[in-house]
Structure 1
């Protein structure tokens, strides 16, 4: 199966505060969006799983680009997420092809990354907005890291394309104070708590 990439877009936010006091260290929150031809657009295909294997190198390439944009240090990354936006000629199941290639590539690069990678998959036209959920990479219940990032690429996805996205951050919300499990209190190392 051929993976035909049209473009890769990388974006990084440097958050210095969120209305409260200036942070000692800005939080970097970034995404990589990869736009590619959907080989199944316009028709129903019973078995699409072969595409997951074909996408694995792209997952690693995108993860590597995003990590580099956030400074290159895997130990600095605290949270992550992924998503896909399928053009009108495809179906939701085509977006789900990103679960393994995107999620496992980030985990591989980050080393210890125990928690499930939160995900969003939806259909959309060119310029549609994809809100990618983010949570802590080692414990999904770390409340300070419940967040997200909004991604939009003006000319994507075309009807016969898919936009696959990954997100990573170097911290939680800037002024988190809603209680719950904190990063320094992760104890079970089970991906949840």
Structure 2
């Protein structure tokens, strides 16, 4: 399969002290790392594309390590998600190739997190933005960690590019009070509860 060609990367970090309620002394941190890569399948239909997932694995691992470190270390991460934006000469299925490399990379960096990594993907032009869904790393049903981060770049994806994205958070939403399963109640049996 073709070599992964990275044009640029972006690291986004947010510190949220309050959302109208009492300010926190330790802010909720949310971040994303984006890589703009050449889409080797742009402009044509290619029946066999799965091999590119293996080529993306090293990039996924590098991005997961960078993001976890930027948020204070893997032991602080409680939420995660992933996404991809595909340029107009590509197809949605090209973005789906990020599922395994992005998800497994975060699980490895986060010491075998159990929950499925939520994801989003779409085809869009330069400047397109995407909401990356986020859930708890060990139990998808922990409602306090249902979150998202909107990301994008003004000059990507170009028609022959893809933007691959990882997102992480350091805890629940800053003023979470919607009930449901709490992080302290996780059983860790199935990645759901």
Asked whether the equivalents of residues 113 and 138 of structure 1 are also in contact (C-alpha less than 8 Å), the reply is yes
* Cα displacement (A) at 1:65: 1.2
> Which segments of 5 or more consecutive residues in structure 1 lack a partner in the other structure?
none
Asked whether the equivalents of residues 60 and 105 of structure 2 are also in contact (C-alpha less than 8 Å), the reply is yes
Following TM superposition, the consecutive aligned residue runs of length 4 or more in structure 1 with deviations greater than 2 angstroms are none
The CA deviation string for residues 77-108 of structure 1, in whole angstroms up to 9 with x for no partner, is 00000000000000000000001110000000
Asked whether the equivalents of residues 138 and 189 of structure 1 are also in contact (C-alpha less than 8 Å), the reply is no
* Cα displacement (A) at 1:188: 4.2
Which secondary structure does the structure 2 equivalent of 1:61 belong to?
A: helix
The CA deviation string for residues 142-178 of structure 1, in whole angstroms up to 9 with x for no partner, is 0000010000111000000000000000011111111
What is the count of residue pairs matched by the alignment?
A: 192
Asked whether the equivalents of residues 39 and 160 of structure 2 are also in contact (C-alpha less than 8 Å), the reply is yes
CA–CA distance in 2 between the matches of 1:125 and 1:167?
A: 21
* Cα displacement (A) at 1:68: 1.7
Which secondary structure does the structure 1 equivalent of 2:60 belong to?
A: helix
Which secondary structure does the structure 2 equivalent of 1:12 belong to?
A: strand
CA–CA distance in 2 between the matches of 1:159 and 1:112?
A: 35
Correspondence for 2:109: 109
Aligned alpha-carbon RMSD (Å) = 0.8
